[in-house]
Structure 1
């Protein structure tokens, strides 16, 4: 999958090992694992102004708190998919050996970014999807004044 980034997506920089280190920026939402997963907006970062630690505030307002200057207790919030749409490029493919079909889709995430992916369907799921889309096409034709 290819993730397309929005300018307000939290930054990641290369760290040691295989995982990337999360480096929060001003305005990012972050989860503070030292505070039982409490979520806050980063309102100050170490090295900017007089800040020597990260300062976070609850998204709806409330008392601010500090997190370690190295950011090791902070992690990004997982993005959630809001919906999926058919991808503009690529065709559906059927693999007779696996008895599965694959349809290219684009997942839209709640932060405004997207991920390219695939909807994988078994033979039974393909038949069910065909029935459901046939009902949608019939409803569309009725709405336009035609008869299915």
Structure 2
């Protein structure tokens, strides 16, 4: 899936923007929108005698070039490994009928991000039941001890 350029980004020629252009470094993974979103490793940077970025597939293969302004390159986000609840109180928005559970998202590169897991009423009921089942399994594994 090819991502279209966002005209409000400075790297796309827009005057106003909230995001800085992406200028990858050596070894970074980058998605090249000019090649249908192919992901490659940056192996050469523009500069001294080179007017383009040079990339190659992570497992090896044919190299390719991307413009030196970075307009066709996007960062590749690290994969999520797991999510854990934070030790903070939950919230409920009566108007939207949504509950919120503060969580930490853990990434494969060791990074984390705090956010809120938003739950609709049916999800809250389902997860209340499922957490109850987890507690029952824990008690059974402990031999009925609490």
- State if a TM-score over 0.5 links the two structures: yes
Q: Does 1:53 align with 2:52?
A: yes
Structure 2 CA distance for partners of 1:53 and 1:95, relative to 1, 3 Å: closer
Partner of 1:66: 65
Distance (whole Å) between structure 2 residues aligned to residue 97 and residue 37 of structure 1: 40
Q: Which runs of 4+ in 1 moved over 4 A?
A: none
Higher relative contact order (CA 8 A, sep 6+): 1
Partner of 2:136: 138
Partner of 2:121: 123
Equivalent runs, 1:93-112 vs 2, <5 Å: 93-112=91-110
Give the gaps of 5 or more residues in structure 1.
Answer: 1-13
Secondary structure in 2 aligned to 1:22? Answer: coil
Give the gaps of 5 or more residues in structure 2.
Answer: 1-9
Number of equivalent positions: 133
TM-score scaled by structure 1? 0.76
Structure 2 CA distance for partners of 1:77 and 1:147, relative to 1, 3 Å: same
Higher percent of residues as strand? 1
Q: Does 1:36 align with 2:15?
A: no
Q: CA deviation at 1:123?
A: 2.9
Structure 2 CA distance for partners of 1:45 and 1:131, relative to 1, 3 Å: same
TM-score scaled by structure 2? 0.77
